[in-house]
Amino acid sequence: MNVLFMKKPIKLTMLASLLVAMFGLSAQAAYYPNTFGNSGAVPQDGTTFSAVHTLGGMASSITSVQLVLTFNDASSLTGNGSGIQGLLTLGTTTSSPYVSFAPVATSSSGAQRIYDVTFSTTPTTGFNGLNPNGTWSLLLWDNGSSGIENGLLSWNLNITAVPEPVNVALGVFAGVFALAGGRQWWLKHHKARPTVQS
């Protein structure tokens, strides 16, 4: 190891800034799949179907949310206000962020119909940049009057998220100062010793 190089002063703030930029560029998004077995009829009588789950252990900033609903059949999946509608909400207060949707079949499996939508990239999704760790709720109702109720068989909430930049920065700064402490220890215990002539 080049001792002369090790003894050169290191500008910690410049090094930390560089590392923060590098880590910010390389921070990887993580994918968190969640499958729920809630099932039941989606009523047409003015009442609702609801399911609530509290999630945790995810990175702290949402980049996209994929909602997958599996229904009994195609009944009332009109894609407009005349059939099934829904709300997906993050939080438990009246001001909690949410998205509204009117499901329409995007694929099928036998008689079952699957609604698969990803909310991402635009501020109007209501979730981007928010912390996904918390209470998520799904609410469904049917504005139709056919008397034929569809039913939800299961649903998935698949979240992609990244760490908050400030958390990455704090981790990098901690690493930089740990390295600085290690450098001081190395210099203290590896000082050049005079050569003994025999």
Q: How far apart are alpha carbons 178 and 13 in whole angstroms? A: 14
pLDDT tens digit sequence for 110-154: 999 999 999 876 555 579 999 999 999 999 999 999 999 999 999
Instruction: Give the pTM.
Output: 0.72
Q: What tens digit of pLDDT does each residue of 4-29 get?
A: 444 444 555 555 555 545 544 446 89
- Residue 29's nearest CA partner among 2, 65, 78, 54 is 65
- 139 with 49: CB under 8 angstroms? yes
Question: Are the CB atoms for 67 and 157 separated by under 8 Å?
Answer: yes
pLDDT for residue 119:
86
Name all domains of the chain by residue range, CATH numbers in brackets.
Answer: 31-178 (2.60.120.260)
Using DSSP's 3-state secondary structure scheme, residue 184 falls into: helix
